[in-house]
Amino acid sequence: MVASMGCEPLGSAREPQRSIQVFTLGRFSLVKNGSPLAFTGKSPRKPLELLQALIALGGRDVHISMLMGAVWPDEGSSNQRKLFDNTLHRLRKILGDGDALALGNAKLTLDARYCWVDAWAFDLLAGELLRSSATVNSRACEILRLYRGHFLDRELAAPWLIGYRNRLQIRFERLVLTQGAILETAGEWFKAAEMYRCALEVDNMVEHFYRRLMACHLQVGEHAETLRVYRRCRDTLSIVLGVKPSAETEALRRRVDASDS
């Protein structure tokens, strides 16, 4: 079986120390001064939705008209502004740092000097890894440390978040496959397999992850494990999407059959 990649846990020395941390990948949560925020009574849904929309729309110099249209699409413009002002005031109280949200010239910014966002950290790392994609990068495992799931995956599929969610998802898939291919080329089959396996824990609908994981197990002679991964791929695709594995995936399965015959 594959060995551990040795990724650093969350909260390691690499993690930026900001007074506010916002987790949006795979789940939504706020951490302030090292402690998760818990709300008693009714959850402040609209202030949190405003924060989510601000992050999804870029986080910096986002015009309030875009935010009002995202959070209150069914309200008139005059009422939207009242709701925005009140909600922004409530959000500032939740964050507890007056400098974290800056409003000027009808544009709102979530200041990265005071607020760390996992999606932004992932995006920054993604750019670094893709620029150095010709070699194995020692920080590749941080992809999986940061990307615990798709952006606001447990929230409603609001129009304003779909574009950003899809963009990050595509970057995640590209990074896993790029770094995995580098490891495979270097003959690091166990490390590559572990990357694909961890990636499948994030998104079990990416057939290419299954196929590369099968190829890694096949390379080191783990035929039973190759077939186990194939069956998981076949069953998942059939149950969720109603489709069969691709010809490339079936070809890998036939290689196992041929080796065992």
Domain ranges of the chain: 1-180, 204-261
> Taking 80 as the threshold, does the pLDDT of residue 45 lie above it?
yes
Q: Which residues contact 143 (CB under 8 A, 6 or more apart)?
A: 122, 125, 126, 129, 172, 175, 176, 179
HEC string for 137-168: CCCCCHHHHHCCCCECCCCCCCHHHHHHHHHH
d(CA 208, CA 148): 19
Q: Which of 95-104, 187-196, 232-241 is predicted with the least confidence, judged by mean pLDDT? A: 95-104
Task: Tally the C-alpha atoms within 13 A of residue 202's C-alpha that lie toward its C-beta.
Answer: 24
Residue 8 scores a pLDDT above 50: no
Q: How confident is the model at residue 236 (pLDDT cuts 50, 70, 90)?
A: very high
135 or 188, which is more confident: 188
3-state SS class at 172 = helix
Q: Which of these, 176, 170, 260, lies nearest to 213 by C-alpha position?
A: 176
CB 208 within 8 A of CB 180: no
How confident is the model at residue 134, as a pLDDT?
A: 61
Higher-pLDDT residue of 199 and 261 is 199
State the pLDDT confidence band at 203, using cuts at 50, 70 and 90: very high
74 pLDDT tier (thresholds 50, 70, 90): confident
Are the beta carbons of 119 and 151 closer than 8 angstroms?
A: yes
Q: Which CATH class is domain 1-180?
A: mainly alpha
Report the chain's mean pLDDT, rounded to a whole number. Answer: 88
Crossing angle for the helix pair 45-56 and 159-185, to the nearest 10 degrees: 50
Cβ-proximal residues to 250 (8 Å cutoff; 6+ apart), any chain: none
Structure tokens at 244: 């069969």
114 pLDDT higher than 60: yes
Is 31 strand, coil or helix? Answer: strand
| Residues above pLDDT 90, as percent of the chain | 69
Instruction: Tell me how far apart the alpha carbons of residues 83 and 87 are, in angstroms, rounded to a whole number.
Output: 6
pTM of the model: 0.84
How far is 168 from 57, CA to CA, in rounded Å? 13
pLDDT band at 39 (very low <50, low <70, confident <90, very high): confident
Helix (H, G, I), strand (E, B) or coil at 97: coil
Residue from 135, 151, 231 nearest 183 by CA? 135
Instruction: Give pLDDT, residue 222.
Output: 95
The answer, yes or no, to whether residue 12 has pLDDT greater than 70, is no
Task: Taking residues 215-239, report their average pLDDT.
Answer: 96
pLDDT band (50, 70, 90) for residue 137:
low
Predicted confidence band of residue 219 (pLDDT cuts 50, 70, 90): very high
Share of the chain above pLDDT 70, in %: 89
pLDDT band at 181 (very low <50, low <70, confident <90, very high): very high
